[in-house]
Structures are given as structure tokens and as C-alpha cells.
Amino acid sequence: MNPGRLKGPFGKPEVRAPTARQAALFDHTAIVERGVPEAALMENAGQRAALIVENLFPEGRVVALVGSGNNGGDALVCLRALSAWGRRVLAVTVGSRPRPDPVLHGWEIPCARFDAAGPEAAAELTQVLADAGVLVDGLLGTGIRGAPRAIHAEAIGAANRSAVAVVALDAPSGVDGTTGEVPGEAVRADVTVAFGWPKLGTLLHPGREYCGRVVAVEIGFPPPEAGDWARLATPGWAHQVLPRRPAVTHKYDVGALTIVAGSAMPGAAVLSARAAFRCGAGLVRVCASGHAAEVLGEVPEALFVDAGDEGALRNAVERSDALAIGPGLGTGTTALRQLKQVFRARGSRPAVIDADALTLLAQGADGGTELFLSGKTIVTPHPGEMASLTGGTVADVQGDRIATARNFAAAHGVVTLLKGAPSLAAGPDGRLLVSATEGGSDLAVAGMGDVLTGAIGSFLAQGVEPLPAAGLALHVTGRAASHDGMGAALMPSDVVQAIPAALSEEGDGHTDLPFPFVTFDQRHPT
């Protein structure tokens, strides 16, 4: 599949990511309480899925695995539409469905049954799939709990062994729509068509790896009421949050950031400072010990402050709009002393706390209480640092990343950006932002966290509130990392250089960058 063939804006200002239960409850509310006909939702879902199949995979026979529930009904509507447009189609029913099926409205389409587990039936299905140009997965949907039963598992296995492109409806069969867990066999899709909203489980690992690209489509749901649904950091959302400069302004008016760094790894401060400037900060000061000045000369735009001079350090903090504390700071006595000085001078200024500063806090550094009591703080731990801060283990953190981030944020009154796949940011009030960019192992390079810290600090200095600042930085750096498709060759400095390209897409959603992991509002094929 060529992701570049996806057309249309993906600039929705707010995109939610419900759990499977939240999505099911909203389905019920829309149908029972708001009067939306269930048949209309299924018709719209199938038609939109058909548009995507026709747009992305215009050649060959379309075969659908059709389950007994609504997901199977969506698949049949999809086949009916494609057949009406002249495509060759075949429905393979797995489990029981009525004949003739009411969703077909009398339209005749070829059907086959896969209703018995075993090697002979699996071989027949494999032969059927060998003649397909694309497979539509309408088997199980998002409500599955536990491993698929034998007949479904065999159908999924046959689909995965085939070389055919796969379009999954709502979620790949076998992927938990809430947790992303894959307890048994699961369809490996090239594209997942999400009806209404991407389901949370399709954004979380390991389920995310089975989804390919996620394309969310409107099918006629009414707007949901406010709730604790997760939100996605998307181009349209970023466009709403991104600070805008007035026509006439001054460097002090558009954000002065002070980076409190160290001398052992001055490159960390260089990356943070460059990212801060690229994200729009008007002035950046870097506080480090004297012999780091030579390396910091690589960023001539930044002002160097000798962190060993207590008066100069205090003055830099007091003249800033926001602080970024931790890049290359170190964990020795000098770093601890500087941390205390910064805390005493900080006042109510917003701050992002990263790297070694988190280690010092986890070790019980003085000033931690004052830090956590501030309502304008973002902490950015990776799973190991999160485990140290909570007194748990990495396995505890990774076992429920969302709950870990939300609980820590609520307990300490800070925004908690938990790095990982995907990275996510939780606010003290329970709000959650999840990155909709590719992310992944390409970002597992020393220095990427320093770029993120600089970006967050820059947005804080420009007046963005902590949770949106965290989500905006995740989005911008994640999109920048996609630039040029460097893969494992990607370096943090490449991300910094690509930030302008990522920022340039914050309009109607059109961009020369590769499409993000989640896209929206597919148009009719042309």
C-alpha cells in the first residue's frame, strides 16, 4: 500500500479515542436515546469502507471475512457497494448469518461458508484468498475479549498467510479494542477503517502493530457528550493549539525559555536549545557550568549562563517565562545544588522536568515537594524513570501505561508525559492525550528526549498550557521524525531540522510529509 494515495484533509480539531466499552455505550446512546437508526450507521460504515477499498486497492477481487455481528454487517454493505460499482466480490461467512441477509437489500453477491474448523476447510479458504486482490476483515470487531475461538482463529491464520492486502473494519479481528492486547491470533491489516473514532486499543501496543494505517471516517454519529475519552494529538488539533505571533512583537513577548542543563553532556543542552528555537521561542538561555560554553557555541542564538554563579542562575530563572530542567544535568552534588537554587527562584513559572532532574527527584531531592505542588509542571519520564518515581517496576508501568500516567498526574498535580509506544500525556484532571504519529523504534536514540524537552519548554514559554504543550510537542517532534523516512538512520538533529516542515502542516491538514499513523475524512475516489 502506498500511504501517499490517501487523500483529503485530516484536520479535525478534536479527535477522541474511546475504549471498546465507551464506543459500545455511545452506539447504544446514539441509537436508543438520540434516535439514530442503526441501519443508517451500518449503511454509512459499509459505504465509507468501500470508498477506502476502492481508493487504495482498485484492482482485483474483494473478499470479505464476514462475522455474525454488526462488524460482519458492515462488511456486507461494503461488498454490496463495491459490487454495484463493478468490482468482483465474495463474502465468506464465518459463523451464522441469516440468508438472505437483510443488509444486502436483495442485492445478490457470491457467498461461501467457512463453518468448520480443520485443515481441509482452512486449505479451501487459503485457496479462495489466493484469488483475492484485497481482503476485508469484518470478522470480530472491537468487542472481543480473550483469544478468538477455533474457527475464527483458523480464518485469521489463513488471512495472515495470504499475500493479499487487508482492510480491517474498526479494529483487526483479535485485537482488544481497549487495551491493544493480542491474546491469540489477530489479523495483520494494511489499513484499519475506524468508524467514528479510532478505538483506543488500536493506538496501543501490541495492537497498534496489527493495524497498518488507521483511517477514521464519519458515519453519522451525533457529537458525544463530554467524558473521560482519550484525545488524539493530530494536525487539526495542533493547528488549534499552536501559538500565533502578532504582526508586531518582541523577542521577550514570544517566549523566553531558560534551560537548566549540565556540563558532562553539553550536547543535550544543544539539542534542547535548537528545538526550542525551531518551535518558536523568542529567547533561549542555557544554564550550565563554564567549560560547557565551547560546545554551546554551536547554538550562537542562545545565551550562555554560568550555572556556577548563583546570582546569574537566579537572574536567568527570574527573567524567563518557562523552564526546561534536566538535559545533561547530572546527578551529583553540584547538580543537586543547582536544582535547589532553581526551585527557590522558580516561583509559579511553568516548567518541564526531564532526565537527570527526574532521577534526583526520585532519589528524594529537596525541593521535590515544592515542584510537585505547582500546577504548571510537566514531567517526562521514560518507563524506567516512571518506575523510580512511583516505587514500582518497569513491568508495573508497562502493564497499564494509561493508569500509571493518570494516577501519577492526579496524585502530584502535574502533567505526566510517559514516553513509549505510543507516548501519552495525562493531566491532573484525568484528561489524556495520545500521540497519533508513527513513533516507534526509530526514536530510540540518545538525545531524542532532549529535543522533546526543548519543544515542550518552548511552547510553555509561549503561553501554551501544560497539557496542550506536552501534546503539541509530541505531535510536532513525532511528525518531524517522519520526514524523509530515515528509519533507523534518524538522528535527533534530523528531527530538529525537520520541525519547520512539521509546523507547516498545521493548516487544513495537507502536507508533503508522509501521512500520520491516524488520518481522517476520506474522500470519494477520483
User: How confident is the model over 421-470, as pLDDT tens digits?
Assistant: 889 999 999 999 998 776 666 677 889 999 999 999 999 999 999 999 99
CA angle 515, 425, 403 (to 5 degrees): 120
pLDDT at 369 over 70: no
* Predicted pLDDT at 214: 92
CA distance 261 to 253: 24
DSSP classification of residue 326: -
Q: Please, are residues 281 and 352 in contact by the beta-carbon 8 Å criterion?
A: no
Domains located in the chain, CATH noted: 3-229 (3.40.50.10260), 243-505 (3.40.1190.20)
* Predicted pLDDT at 457: 99
Residue 60 region, left (φ>0) first, then alpha (ψ -120 to 50), else beta?
Answer: left
Average pLDDT of 281-292?
89
Checking DSSP bridges between strand 424-426 and strand 415-418, what pairing results, if any? antiparallel
Q: Which of 204-218, 236-250, 435-449 has the highest mean pLDDT?
A: 204-218
* Predicted pLDDT at 465: 96
Of the candidate ranges 88-92, 101-105, 121-125, the one whose mean pLDDT is the lowest: 101-105
CA distance 279 to 259: 14
Q: How many percent of the chain have pLDDT more than 90? A: 64
* Predicted pLDDT at 367: 52
C-alpha cell at 55: 481508493
pLDDT at 10 over 50: no
* Predicted pLDDT at 510: 45
Dihedral (CA of 134, 139, 142, 147) sign: negative
> Of residues 508 and 77, which shows the higher confidence score?
77
Average pLDDT of 205-212?
94
Of the candidate ranges 106-115, 470-479, 483-492, the one whose mean pLDDT is the lowest: 483-492
Termini Cα distance of the chain: 17
Cis ω for the linkage preceding 100 (within 30 of 0) = yes
CA distance 161 to 27: 34
What residues are paired with 166 via a beta bridge? 135
Residue 114: count other Cβ atoms within 10 Å of its Cβ: 21
CA distance 365 to 216: 45
When the pLDDT of each residue in the chain is averaged and rounded to a whole number, the result is 88
> Any idea which residue has 475479549 for its cell?
145
**23 confidence band (pLDDT: 50, 70, 90):** very high
* Predicted pLDDT at 524: 34
Sequence-distant (6+) residues with CB within 8 A of 522 are 6, 7, 8, 48, 51, 52, 55, 215, 217
> Any idea which residue has 496489527 for its cell?
210
Distances (CA, A) of 243 to 199, 227, 274, 426, 509: 29, 26, 18, 21, 17
**13 confidence band (pLDDT: 50, 70, 90):** low
Helix, strand, coil proportions of the chain in percent (round to 5)?
45, 15, 40
* Predicted pLDDT at 365: 60
CA distance 160 to 154: 10
* Predicted pLDDT at 375: 62
* Predicted pLDDT at 248: 77
pLDDT at 4 over 50: no
The count of C-alpha atoms lying within 13 angstroms of the C-alpha of 263, restricted to the half-sphere facing its C-beta, is 16
> Of residues 8 and 55, which shows the higher confidence score?
55
Of the candidate ranges 50-64, 80-94, 135-149, 479-493, the one whose mean pLDDT is the lowest: 479-493
- The beta strands (E) that lie in 174-212 are given as 191-195
C-alpha cell at 395: 513491568
